[in-house]
Structures are given as C-alpha cells and as structure tokens.
Amino acid sequence: MQRTLILLKPDCIQRRLIGDIIGRFERKGLRLVGLKFVQASQDLAEKHYAVHKGKPFYDSLLKFLTSGPTVALVWEGREAVATARGLMGPTDGTKAPPATIRGDFAISVQNNLVHGSDSVENAAAEIALWFKPEELVNWTPADAAWVTGG
C-alpha cells in the first residue's frame, strides 16, 4: 500500500469542482486518510514547489497556489502514486486525454486543477508538509476486501 498527496488547487475550488474531483479518486477505490481546507501561505507554497524554483513559471505558480483556498487530501491504496497520476492525466490540460481529470476539466497548463505526488519519496515529504501525523486517519472501509481483491 502507498500513500499520495493530492491537492485540489485554487482553480478547482473557484470552479466548484471539489465534489466532482474527490469523487473520481473515491470511485477508483482509493482510501481517503487525510482531508483539509487550507489557505496556503507563501512559505508553504514555496516549500511545496521548491523543485520548480528558478523556472520561468515559478512566480506565477506560487501566486496561483496562494490565490485562494486549496483542498489537501491524502489517499492510500495499491500503487496509489501512479494510480492518482493516471487519474489526473498529463500536466497540460489540452494534451490530457478525455476521462482524466485534466482531460475533462482543463485547457490550461498552470490551472490544471490538481497536484499529485510523482514518487513515493516525494509523497512522504509532501504529506509531512501539508499534514501533521495525527491528522491522518487509519481505518478500514467496509468494502476493502471487495476493492482490493485477492
């Protein structure tokens, strides 16, 4: 089992898509273990996107992430990191195929609704950045055996 950090970024909240997009992760069978509504500070945004510091889009990206509230989520499941990235689709909404989140809802590169960790290592670091350990809930859904199988 893996865990991954997903952010519903400010465009998702402004466009009232929270329910639709959380539903995609839920219906896949991923297990929600953390959820919070956050106004990201400049410091949090800088730490979250530290890997992109120096790139031409960095300042705009920070302004975007701090422009309004974000929903931070932690999902758990088999291959959760790659599974969530698959549900999201590629970065550029115009190149993301239909039936992915970005493919169905985005035509922008920056305003692409969701962030998802890109490796297990980065997921652990990003989860620790956005959540305290006690904010994560360990639980077993009633249908866990049906979702996971064998």
Residues that bind ligand DAT (CB under 6 A): 52, 57, 61, 91, 109-110, 112, 115, 118
Cβ at position 137, least distance to Mg ion in Å: 25
> Per-residue string for binding with Mg ion, 69-108, x by CB under 5 A?
----------------------------------------
**Residue with smaller CB distance to ligand DAT, 90 or 135:** 90
Q: Of the ranges 53-61, 74-82, 117-125, 135-143, which one interacts with Mg ion (CB under 5 A)? A: 117-125
Q: Catalytic residue at 52?
A: no
Q: Of the ranges 40-48, 81-89, 105-113, 115-123, which one interacts with Mg ion (CB under 5 A)? A: 115-123
Which of 80, 112, 115, 127 is flagged as catalytic? 115
Round to whole Å and give the CA distance between 31 and 78.
10
**Residue with smaller CB distance to ligand DAT, 36 or 63:** 63
| 3-state helix/strand/coil string of the chain | CEEEEEEECHHHHHCCCHHHHHHHHHHHCCEEEEEEEEECCHHHHHHHCHHHCCCCCHHHHHHHHCCCEEEEEEEEECCHHHHHHHHHCCCCCCCCCCCCHHHHHCCCCCCCCEEECCCHHHHHHHHHHHCCHHHCCCCCCCCHHHHHCC
**Residue with smaller CB distance to ligand DAT, 20 or 118:** 118
Dihedral sign of CA atoms 88, 94, 96, 100 in order: positive
The residues annotated with a catalytic role in the active site are: 115
Q: Which residues bind Mg ion (CB under 5 A)?
A: 118
